[in-house]
């Protein structure tokens, strides 16, 4: 399991946002925050598929999942590891150009493993603008971070009209992580 990750890290260390693949506790916390059963899900930056595996264990079906992976060799690995799951090789900065849900409508959930806090502001804005354009108005973005601060700044949550909530702290991960869920404020009133 670690070999594809290590090879991707060696090929392009700046592209990989972690020093090890997501642990089971973090992957499960992401899947629980997504509540995937019956939802159309886009996972951005799935890496070796730890979160994908957790999503399937929590009730997602392969035909509901779409994975966007930038690394070509990881894309091939994921395609072989998860038969029936749509895996697309592409860059998160052009999500709207390369990814659409099969049904033609919006995704209910976007799961992101992108290292948002390490990105240039312009790239974050480009990615988040596209994420929220393909996300159902009642949908959610689930993102994790290794930082003590939120992965999306208050200025960007205001810009996109979303509210963030920390849903879990995972101390049994290397390094420890927190899971955040971003929705339009009306979703918190339901």
For 100-139, the pLDDT digits (tens) are 766 667 999 999 999 999 999 999 999 999 999 999 999 9
- CATH code of residue 37: 3.40.50.150
Instruction: Calculate the average pLDDT of the chain.
Output: 88
Parent domain of 111: 2-189
For 37-52, the pLDDT digits (tens) are 999 999 999 999 999 9
pLDDT band at 5 (very low <50, low <70, confident <90, very high): very low
Q: What is the 3-state secondary structure (H, E, C) of the chain?
A: CHHHHHHHHHHCCCCCCCCCCCCHHHHHHHHHHHCCCCCCEEEECCCCCHHHHHHHHCCCCHHHEEEEECCHHHHHHHHHHCCCCEEEECCHHHHHHHCCCCCCCCEEEEEECCCHHHCCHHHHHHHHHHHHHHEEEEEEEEEEECCCCCCCCHHHHHHHCCEEEEEEEECCCCCCEEEEEEECCHHHHC
Number of domains in the chain: 1
Please report the pLDDT score of residue 6 as a whole number: 42
């Amino acid at each position: 399991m670690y070999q594809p990750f290590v090879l991707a890290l060696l090929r392009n260390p700046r592209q990989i946002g972690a020093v090890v693949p997501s642990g089971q506790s973090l992957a499960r916390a992401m899947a629980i925050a997504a509540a995937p059963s019956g939802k159309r899900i886009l996972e951005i930056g799935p890496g070796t598929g730890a979160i994908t595996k957790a999503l399937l264990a929590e009730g997602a079906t392969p035909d509901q999942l779409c994975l966007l992976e930038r690394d070509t060799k990881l894309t091939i690995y994921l395609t072989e590891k998860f038969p029936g799951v749509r895996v697309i090789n592409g860059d998160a900065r052009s999500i709207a150009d390369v990814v659409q849900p099969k049904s033609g409508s919006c995704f209910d959930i976007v799961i992101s493993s992108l290292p948002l806090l390490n990105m240039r502001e312009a790239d974050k804005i480009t990615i988040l603008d596209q994420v929220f354009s393909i996300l159902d108005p009642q949908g959610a973005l689930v993102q994790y971070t290794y930082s003590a601060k939120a992965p999306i700044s208050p200025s960007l949550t205001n810009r996109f009209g979303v509210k963030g909530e920390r849903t879990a702290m995972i101390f049994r991960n290397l390094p420890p992580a927190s899971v955040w869920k971003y929705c339009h404020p009306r979703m918190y009133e339901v």
